[in-house]
Structure 1
Amino acid sequence: MTSIFIKSIQLLFSISILIVVHELGHFILAKIFRVRVERFFLFFDPWFSIFKKKIGHTIYGIGWLPLGGYVKIYGMIKENCSNLSKKNKNKNWEFCSKSAIKRLLIISGGIIFNIILSILIFTFLLFQYGEIYLPTKNVKYGIEVDSLGKKIGLKNGDKILFVNGKYIKYFNEIPKSIFLGNSITVDRMGKILNLSLNNKKKFLFDRKKFGFFIKPRVPPIINYVIKNSKAEKYGLKNNDEILAINSELIFFSDQLKDSLSNYKNENILISINRNGKLIQKEVFIDSKGILGIFLKSFMDLNHIFLFEKKNYSYFDSFYHGIIKSYNVLKNQIIFLKNIIHVETKAYKQIGSFFSIAKEFPSQWNWYVFWSLTGTLSIWLAFLNLFPIPSLDGGYILFIMIEMLIGKKVNEKIIEKCTIYGFIIISLMMIFIIFWDIFKVFF
């Protein structure tokens, strides 16, 4: 329950930042062009609000329904504009009185600010933490794969040479390239094989959550022994390297896992390298094949794997922050293309707030929090560009049509399209939420 609470708080905080920044974009652009803002709300407030206070011409508040936020600008609706015009001879502070380009910028303000936020977040993270990479050429033992990796044709020990015919310089970029690619070229015990992904995309997307389906193959070295486990009982210690099970030599972690599964409810003889000394322990393996140890990952073995760390100056981090935001957006667009192709089953990965919450760690981690917030910010900017009435993109479309034909689009058409757009988006959100619940429980 604690982990669920922490994930939920991180999601709520992240979403709040995105909403405030988005609406602030509209608000500031409106102020720049001297347009009055009637309301500025974090979350929606049907029937009542948690908090509200009027300052100047604007009511600032917090609603109770955390599905978004809004700014209400004077004169965006023609009827309001007409009524205000009758009461006020000077109507320069109304939205409808401004030129098309100014109205376009005000509507685009939220998108612009979300893009800026994403760039600033990635700039800060790159400047503060830099980036650590494992060059693909340094993955000396090949890869270890899970059940998904095996389904798409990979095997333990494969060395990935190319994805889509391209050499991937850093290992952390390989899983993403496989998700978006069509073929993998591997070195399998000296034999070069080309694995097609065309009929296997459904395996990549047809899973409850994304994970590391491939990772560097590593020797079986104990990271830590679980307290009160059989491993502790029989005297295994942190940093022990397992060399053999009975007479079977063990070179890699995946071999150890496979070997233990073959000796359930049996006594085995484990050969260990402990600080250069050969030690043997007789251990009983339970019905689950669990020994009670956690093995070191490749990140714990920097004496075996040579990592590269890139540190960035402020100006370099800003440049690479822009590149990172662009790459995040590009990958999301490619994923969206996969959703259109039903055979990939990528549509199963569509999710609501529940799916987003699962991506946050169960313990608070500022680096992960800001990384996800930066990713969500650029994605929110992209979604708002969709030319759907009631989204920013819908208003932008109508203003651009006005600029092309030289006159405003009929207000009744805009009003009807906005209502239909709102209904469509609401139904989509309800469907996605129910789909998310269905995925979790069924």
Structure 2
Amino acid sequence: MEFVIKISQFLLSLSLLIILHELGHFIPAKAFKTRVEKFYLFFDVKFSLFKKKIGDTVYGIGWLPLGGYVKIAGMIDESMDTEQMAQEPQPWEFRSKPAWQRLIIMLGGVTVNFLLAIFIYIGMSYFYGDTFLPNENIKDGLEIENTVAIKAGLQTGDKILAVDGDEIETFSEIPEKVLFGKEILIERDGVQSTIKMPEDFLAQLLDSKEKGLIKLRQPFIVVQVPDTSFNKVSGLKKGDIIVGLNDYPTKYTDEVKIALEKFKGQTVSATVKREEQKIILPLKVSEDALLGLVVAGQSTSKTLEALGYYDYDVKDYGFFESIPVGLNKAKDKLVSYWDQLGAIFTPSTGAYKGVGGFKAIYDIFPSFWSWQVFWSITAFLSIMLGVLNLLPIPALDGGHVAFLLYEMVSGRKPGDKFMEYAQMVGFFLLIALVLFANGNDIYKAIFG
């Protein structure tokens, strides 16, 4: 069932992005009276799942869900229709239109991608508002479990104040900024200091295969005492929170783990918070420093706030208030993705090791259905698709735009033969990038 939910979200998001991107090309092409021969969701290699001709255009659905396309008459694209290009230009063809019209047609797809992301972020701000944890409300610092981050100098209990001179305002900013940051200003035991991160920090994280980087410190909440547990008769109940072991206070799970290491093989007096009261229960600690319990992982913001661990801020926006908020979110995501792309194309960072293909995108979606999460992921993917399509690779929109700008500036149109060769080079380069990204997915699946 989880697979069905994930794949449904993946295909719905992908289909929405492809159709709207291609509409971005289709609408201005039709507005400038340019013939569009095909409009396809997914690729129709050898055959189509569905197709119907309406007017001059064949609308269809292919069987290979790796993208989609519009085939515009008189345009040198991945179809490499050299037979059509060898004929005399016709007034309805792309090549017969003024350069400024061709530029608008080529920019239409990425324009729609960016507008879609902005629209989604505005809508989400209006319907859902924002729930966030101000950085100043993290009184006892953060939890650092990742050994690579610890080796770099971070420790559990550190408060992260700024990254590369940018002050941290909310917790949600921290993981990504630390991931790509060079200098981190922290406060440890009331003393501020700066940690210089290794240039290949991201590569080390990817090589370590450890999950997680930085998270909120969590209470030690009992979810279940299994029948096979050596603490079955201890009196612990679901929902109990262990806040002390012997005389050692354990407000957070990381403190419980440290205390258990000290009390291996012993029976301890556990201070347990149960609703509004505290009780003392005897608990056995195994030689492996375990209690034999099932405990909660990452608790929700509502749970953490109700227990008094963190104070979250909630902001609701009116319709007009949500517009600048949504615009700002789209801008931040665009800048963030551009920074990530820059890291990927800088070999010394090792970020290229984290490049993923369709499997990586599929994995982003949760195993439960949430429209809020779905729209958030779709908005980010729309920005990602827009940025990638603007790369000056001939097989992408950005390649066509680069040649059109050259034509408009120089007054000279690149020859058809040159465009064919450029398209071939761009196509093979694009295939190489796709193979590399999806090859990374396969490698990770096999070697973990």
Q: Same fold (TM over 0.5)?
A: yes
| Contact 1:75-1:81 within 8 A present in 2 as well | yes
* Alignment-derived partner of residue 183 in structure 1: 183
* 1:405 to 2:410 alignment: yes
| Contact 1:223-1:295 within 8 A present in 2 as well | no
| Contact 1:298-1:305 within 8 A present in 2 as well | no
SS of residue paired to 1:282: strand
* Alignment-derived partner of residue 415 in structure 1: 420
Q: State the Cα deviation string for residues 320-371 of structure 1 (Å, max 9, x = none).
A: 2222122111111111222233332211110111111111111122211111
Q: State the Cα deviation string for residues 396-415 of structure 1 (Å, max 9, x = none).
A: 12211211222321110001
* Alignment-derived partner of residue 149 in structure 1: 149
* Alignment-derived partner of residue 395 in structure 1: 400
Change in CA separation of 1:200 and 1:36 when aligned onto 2, cut-off 3 Å: closer
* Alignment-derived partner of residue 335 in structure 2: 330
* Alignment-derived partner of residue 88 in structure 1: none
| Contact 1:50-1:63 within 8 A present in 2 as well | yes
Matches within 5 A, 1:271-282: 271-274=271-274, 275-282=276-283
One-letter identity of the residue aligned with 1:80? Q
> Which segments of 5 or more consecutive residues in structure 2 lack a partner in the other structure?
77-81
Comparing 352-361 and 180-189, the one that deviates more = 180-189
* Alignment-derived partner of residue 79 in structure 2: none
| Contact 2:179-2:202 within 8 A present in 1 as well | no
One-letter identity of the residue aligned with 1:378? I
| Contact 1:118-1:378 within 8 A present in 2 as well | yes
One-letter identity of the residue aligned with 1:106? I
| Contact 2:260-2:289 within 8 A present in 1 as well | no
Comparing 232-241 and 111-120, the one that deviates more = 232-241
Q: CA deviation at 1:82?
A: 6.1
Q: State the Cα deviation string for residues 202-237 of structure 1 (Å, max 9, x = none).
A: 46642577965222334x352633664636653322
* 1:20 to 2:22 alignment: no
Q: CA deviation at 1:440?
A: 2.0
| Contact 2:234-2:281 within 8 A present in 1 as well | no
* Alignment-derived partner of residue 304 in structure 2: 301
Q: CA deviation at 1:117?
A: 0.9
Q: CA deviation at 1:261?
A: 4.9
SS of residue paired to 1:45: strand
Q: CA deviation at 1:436?
A: 1.6
2: CA distance, partners of 1:223 / 1:84: 77
SS of residue paired to 1:361: coil
* 1:255 to 2:255 alignment: yes
| Contact 1:141-1:216 within 8 A present in 2 as well | no
Q: CA deviation at 1:19?
A: 0.7
One-letter identity of the residue aligned with 2:182? N
Q: CA deviation at 1:271?
A: 2.5
CA-atom RMSD, angstroms? Answer: 2.5
2: CA distance, partners of 1:28 / 1:343: 42
Identity across matched positions, percent: 39
Match of 1:310 among 308, 315, 321: 315
One-letter identity of the residue aligned with 2:283? E
One-letter identity of the residue aligned with 1:71? V
* Alignment-derived partner of residue 241 in structure 2: 241
Q: CA deviation at 1:393?
A: 1.1
1: CA distance, partners of 2:233 / 2:123: 47
1: CA distance, partners of 2:293 / 2:260: 8
* Alignment-derived partner of residue 360 in structure 1: 365
Matches within 5 A, 1:34-53: 34-53=33-52
Match of 2:434 among 429, 434, 442: 429
SS of residue paired to 1:48: strand
SS of residue paired to 2:280: strand
* Alignment-derived partner of residue 33 in structure 1: 32
2: CA distance, partners of 1:426 / 1:258: 50
| Contact 1:222-1:296 within 8 A present in 2 as well | no
Q: CA deviation at 1:307?
A: 1.4
Change in CA separation of 1:425 and 1:288 when aligned onto 2, cut-off 3 Å: farther
* 1:80 to 2:84 alignment: yes
Q: CA deviation at 1:439?
A: 1.7
SS of residue paired to 1:301: helix
One-letter identity of the residue aligned with 1:339? I
| Contact 1:388-1:394 within 8 A present in 2 as well | yes
| Contact 2:235-2:281 within 8 A present in 1 as well | no
SS of residue paired to 1:54: strand
Q: CA deviation at 1:264?
A: 5.8
TM-score after normalising by structure 1: 0.90
**Count of matched residue positions in the alignment of Structure 1 and Structure 2:** 435
Q: CA deviation at 1:270?
A: 2.3
One-letter identity of the residue aligned with 2:26? F
2: CA distance, partners of 1:118 / 1:205: 30
* Alignment-derived partner of residue 10 in structure 2: 11
2: CA distance, partners of 1:318 / 1:229: 55
* Alignment-derived partner of residue 194 in structure 1: 194
2: CA distance, partners of 1:412 / 1:296: 58
Change in CA separation of 1:127 and 1:157 when aligned onto 2, cut-off 3 Å: same
2: CA distance, partners of 1:213 / 1:420: 39
